[in-house]
Amino acid sequence: MKCKVCGNESGKYPLCKACNTKKEQGLVIKCTDCGNWHYKDMPCPQPSDDNAGFLHEPKSMLISKSEQTFFAALKNAVPKEYNVFPQINLAAFIERTDNARFRSELFRNVDFLITDGTYTPKLAVEINDSSHLAKDRRERDEKVSHILEEAGIPLLKLWTSYGVNQEYIDQKINELLNTPVVRKKYSVEKQNVAAQDTIPENTQPVSTGKKKKQGCYIATCVYGSYDCPSVWTLRRFRDDILDKNGFGRLFIKCYYAISPTLVKLFGNTKLFKSFWKNRLDKLVNRLNQKGIDNTKYEDKY
């Protein structure tokens, strides 16, 4: 979902974090007159005579300003004859091979699709911010990842917390475009479950009464991804070791009370990342030596 005020990514909420902070400060309001979110000191948007009474309106922009900077970097990174398309629906470049009636799993967008000169899909790109650490977003992202993996289309995830690093983007795109694709076939049972998933993505999940784990904020900030070997190790350590005793659960509780604020305040500084990376690298190395695996891991809820 896009922020109703600035147009940036806001996850499942109508306002992004920055605009929500302004709302708490009284600078942004949901106007009782027009029913829209806008700055308190701004007049209500007045519909023109041409638009009066119409049910549908065009959005102010196709991609947010943050996504526009990544768009420019991607266009600079791909070979000259290649194309980069923003906001492409999975159904536009992926087909199901069975006769399933429900195909709602394909009614999801990727932020960017890279094709060669003949418009053959070659690489999907997702731009992730902190909203992708939420459970429902991770579930959505996992479904998209599985579909792309089975279709044989590599996926590049770029995190906004790292900014636009042209050298890194060049390297990863060149690597993915020149690495042989290995397709993974998911079970028919999983495909059928996904095919019948017609619940809108922004619907709140029904509570199961189980405790909800949260993202590894500092580790994700340091390593640039929630899904990488070092973070998989730390998540296993959290679920299999710390969560099994009272002291460990207290540590987890304190960590999740403090770490989001630390990342928000200092996450974009080199000093913060280098300080924590040095310590986390040592911890991960010790954990791996003790037998805690660093392969792909799904959180325990």
Measured CA distances, 211 to 79, 94, 238 (Å): 47, 36, 14
146 Cβ neighbours under 8 A, 6+ residues apart: 184, 186, 190, 194
Q: Between the CA atoms of 280, 285, 289 and 295, what dihedral angle is there, to the nearest 10 degrees?
A: 80
Higher pLDDT, 257 or 112: 112
Is pLDDT above 80 for 238?
yes
User: What are the tens digits of pLDDT across the range 28-63?
Assistant: 888 887 888 888 888 886 655 555 567 788 888 888
Residue 267, token pair as written in the block: 């996450």
Contact 141, 17 (CB under 8 A): no
Percent of the chain at pLDDT exceeding 70 = 84
List residues bridging with 88 in a β-sheet: 110
Q: What angle do CA 294, 270, 74 make, to 5 degrees?
A: 75
* Between 216 and 197, the higher pLDDT residue: 216
The tokens 């007045």 sit on which residue?
A: 46
Condensed to tens digits (0 to 9), the pLDDT of residues 141-198 reads: 888 999 999 999 999 999 888 889 999 999 999 999 999 988 888 754 444 444 444 4
Cα separation, 71 vs 67, in Å, equals 6
Alpha-carbon span 161 to 149, nearest angstrom = 25
- pLDDT > 90 in the chain, percent: 29
pLDDT at 197: 42
Sketch out the chain's domains with CATH numbers. 1-60 (no CATH), 65-195 (3.40.1350), 217-289 (no CATH)
**The predicted structure's pLDDT at residue 72:** 96
Q: What is the pLDDT of residue 226?
A: 80
Least confident of 113-117, 121-125, 161-165, 223-227: 223-227
Which ranges of 129-228 does DSSP label H, i.e. alpha helix?
135-151, 166-177, 188-195, 217-223
CA distance 10 to 29: 16
The reported pTM is 0.51
Q: Report CA 241 to chain centroid distance, whole Å.
A: 27
Site of tokens 């005793």 = 245
Mean pLDDT (the chain) is 82
Question: Token pair for residue 177?
Answer: 């475009």
pLDDT band at 110 (very low <50, low <70, confident <90, very high): very high
